[in-house]
Structure 1
Amino acid sequence: MKVGFVGLGNVGSKLAGSLLRNGHDLTVFDLDTGKVAEFVALGAREARDAAALMRDADVVITCLPSPAICAATVTEMLPEVTPGKTWMEMSTTDDGVMKSLAAQVQAAGGAVVECPVSGGCHRAATGNIAIFAGCDRDTFERVLPLLTTLGRRVLHTGEIGTASVLKVMTNYLATANLLSVCEAMVTMKAAGMDLATTYEAIKISSGTSFVHETEGQVILNGSRDISFTMDLVKKDIGLFQKIAETHDIPLEISPLLGAIFDDGIAKYGARELSPNIIKRLEHATGLSITAPGFPAQMTDDEPEEPGYEVVPPGRIPPVAAE
């Protein structure tokens, strides 16, 4: 199977690296020619543009920073879509945009899988990241070997659109966790608590979370580097708020998260690393929320393992049609 990959950013480069590391026939395209050159040096081929990638590959994966960029890329590839081609979208995107683009690809005879990832760049790098997959069951069965190379835990979420909705929801929860961790750390510092001890107290208690155990460490290191920026957070929580508004849900926390990140972007810039949202409280209090002994970047210390399908409780996965 010939695989094409568009988008060698913070997450995309890690996902493409898993394909290359596991021996897949890989061709890449990105506007950053330096990133393309790095992959070519490792054995990948270079595509002239996204359309050429679709023409020459069996499967094309996109991992791009916004719904608008995704739409523009798919529009460029669409004339090269023929029966037998598959488009796999791994970005965090709008479910309405995803459904519209999927319909166009399917009308041209192609298959579509929306498969956003969750778990951080450090897990994308090792192939241990989680993947949500929205598509029909037959298509899911066909691309599952590819998905289990890209990630460890793969959840079939249902039809096109469902994976995007669930991914946006998880990013909303992660943002709420991040802001509560920031408030907890600053408050404990003001109360005279040792921050390394505070970190462990949260980690071993009911107050822990994935965000605390990952982003909490780089916050305390001072690097705040999780390869994710404030504008991307704002995009994701904005997509969640849009879903809630579409269904007339009167959310209270979600608008507050959006307002906090609007303020963070105004103060520090859209491309500021997202954990530096804690600067708002550091600057307001004059406190420095750092401690020795924490890493500058997260690394996945779990060995790369074969991926597998996650089946929700009480559900037996359907058998694909013969």
Structure 2
Amino acid sequence: SIALIAAMKVGFVGLGAMGAPMAANLLHAGHELSVFDVNAEAMKNLVAKGARAATSPADCAKGVQVVVTMVPDDVVLREVTCNEADGLLVELKGVHLSCSTVHPDTSRELAKLHAAQGSQYVGAPIFARADGVGRRLASFVVGGDDDAIAAAMPVLLALSSERVHNFGRDPGAGNVVKLCGNLMIGSAIESCAEALSLAEKSGLDRKAVMTMLSSSIFDCLIYRGYGDRVAARAHTPSDPLVGPGFALELGLKDIGLALDVAKQTRTPMPMAAALHQRFVAASARGYGQMDWSAIALSVSQDAGIDVSANASHSTAIASRGLNANAKRKRKGQNAQAASSDIVNAATRSAASSSFNNNADISALNTNINPTTSPNFTAKSTNPTDPTNPTNSAAVALSPAAAKAAEKRRERARLKRQRARDLKREAKIAAGTYRPRNTAGGRPRADGSTDGNSDAHVEAAEMAVAEMEAAAEAAAFAEGAQAEAEAADMMMAEAEGDVAAAELLSPAVAD
């Protein structure tokens, strides 16, 4: 019984669909709890139940024996843990219990960083849907030092009905198991979708077929739950068959991580590669915020089945939920976070323009940069016009936010410079490269110039780079991060295919 577990001082970072019920279970078990989430609204319910609202991850970790993190991906976990100003490592002296689905190497790296700081790290991914977490139906797969796991065990038992599986001292072991499990779940969803598409195109009732299968030879949790969703084409979070759901974009991330581990271990996974492409296609069709069972819609579409009514209804509801989520996160924060779409639109407009003098560039910088512009706010009557006179709210960044923004600017600058170098190298290789005329601007094909001096063009490009970096900081790198992860996943898959080819046909690969 959780009532018999000794009370501990616990911190909890990440109060989303999974984290909130987990934190509530810790309070119910009698633990003294501090909580933190970037969405202040998410903390209110737990504070009302007796939790302390922390001001940062570092504050949440101060003086606790165990701090639990439940965040969406590797990037956020690293930021929450390692931020020099307010990350967990600044204050934590106990155990970091990481329940996120991340790359095994991320857990191994963080474990070393914790050891260097005098704290400990346990990788403890969780198997459960959000609707089962509150009922303590979760299963944890853990890896880490024995004493660290023992210290965290009272917290784990408060979160689960003794479903804790220890996979040894490797802090990334649990992450490997979690990726294996999610790969198998994704494969089950795909197989259900293909089978039911075959049944439907053969004139059968897809729901009746799934009911028969899941009540006989496939009578298990995964096939009953996901089979029913696929059969009914119910993929919208909050739908009675779906519950809070698990975002398809997160499923895409997890399959990509599995492929990357496969590449590292030289493990051919052709089914995983095909499944990854299914998730990419579903995401491209706009299903990213729906439950990950929505890959079944893509299966039906590939079979020529009209699912437009289901798809449009589901994506609209999912989009409304996402927008509401974003509004809750933005509430109480400065206008910089709320203005990312406006900044991006203005940046795109600036990138397509020509600048004839440095004064124009300076003026554009002033009007578009949310840290300097007097004409900038989250609510504009014209979202593509950052100089709208109705926009009068100024933006002030905290020192920590300013430091983080500066780091993002530098990363963006280096990324853009590398992109320019690669573009130039490609043009040289193709024989289409034309060097700039520093005296009279860029040469045209007829030998004339475009009228812009090289200095002006360079200044314009620098201005655009700065604005793009500011936009990235304002949006907390969400858009760029998603695109980068998708690119990384596609690269991992390609490299995984090469590794598979080398193993299966060495002579051909050579």
Q: Give the TM-score taking structure 1 as reference length.
A: 0.84
Q: Distance in 2 between matches of 1:200 and 1:289?
A: 23
Contact persistence 2:103–2:257 (CA under 8 A)? yes
Higher helix share: 2
1:275 and 2:293 aligned: yes
Deviations 1:84-110 (A, max 9, x none): x11100000111111111111112111
Q: CA deviation at 1:269?
A: 4.3
Query: Which residue of structure 1 lines up, in the alignment, with residue 319 of structure 2?
Result: none
Q: CA deviation at 1:287?
A: 5.7
Q: Distance in 1 between matches of 2:18 and 2:70?
A: 8
Q: Give the TM-score taking structure 2 as reference length.
A: 0.54
Deviations 1:205-263 (A, max 9, x none): 33344322112233445442342111101110111111111111222101101111111
> Aligned to 2:10, which of 3, 11, 26?
3
Query: Which residue of structure 1 lines up, in the alignment, with residue 126 of structure 2?
Result: 117
| Structure ID, larger Rg | 2
SS of structure 2 residue aligned to 1:128: coil
Query: Which residue of structure 2 lines up, in the alignment, with residue 301 of structure 1?
Result: none
> Aligned to 1:141, which of 147, 150, 169?
150
> Aligned to 2:19, which of 9, 12, 25?
12
Shift of the 105–245 alpha-carbon distance from structure 1 to 2, 3 Å rule, reads same
Q: CA deviation at 1:132?
A: 0.6
> Aligned to 1:21, which of 21, 28, 50?
28
> Aligned to 2:251, which of 233, 238, 250?
233
Query: Which residue of structure 1 lines up, in the alignment, with residue 73 of structure 2?
Result: 66
> Aligned to 1:94, which of 94, 97, 103?
103
Query: Which residue of structure 2 lines up, in the alignment, with residue 154 of structure 1?
Result: 164
Any stretches of 5+ residues in structure 1 without a counterpart? Answer: 291-322
Query: Which residue of structure 2 lines up, in the alignment, with residue 31 of structure 1?
Result: 38
Shift of the 108–7 alpha-carbon distance from structure 1 to 2, 3 Å rule, reads same
1:212 and 2:230 aligned: no
SS of structure 2 residue aligned to 1:126: coil
> Aligned to 2:278, which of 252, 260, 267?
260
Contact persistence 2:110–2:121 (CA under 8 A)? no
Q: Distance in 2 between matches of 1:114 and 1:273?
A: 25
Deviations 1:149-207 (A, max 9, x none): 11121100112111111111111111101111111222222223333432222113333
Deviations 1:41-82 (A, max 9, x none): 222110011010111322110010010100011011212133
Any stretches of 5+ residues in structure 2 without a counterpart? Answer: 1-7, 311-510
- How many correspondences in the alignment? 288
Q: Distance in 1 between matches of 2:164 and 2:222?
A: 20
Q: CA RMSD in A?
A: 1.9
> Aligned to 1:45, which of 28, 43, 52?
52
1:183 and 2:194 aligned: yes
Q: CA deviation at 1:4?
A: 0.7
Q: Which has the higher contact order (CA 8 A, sep 6+)?
A: 1
Q: Distance in 2 between matches of 1:129 and 1:289?
A: 34
Identity %: 26
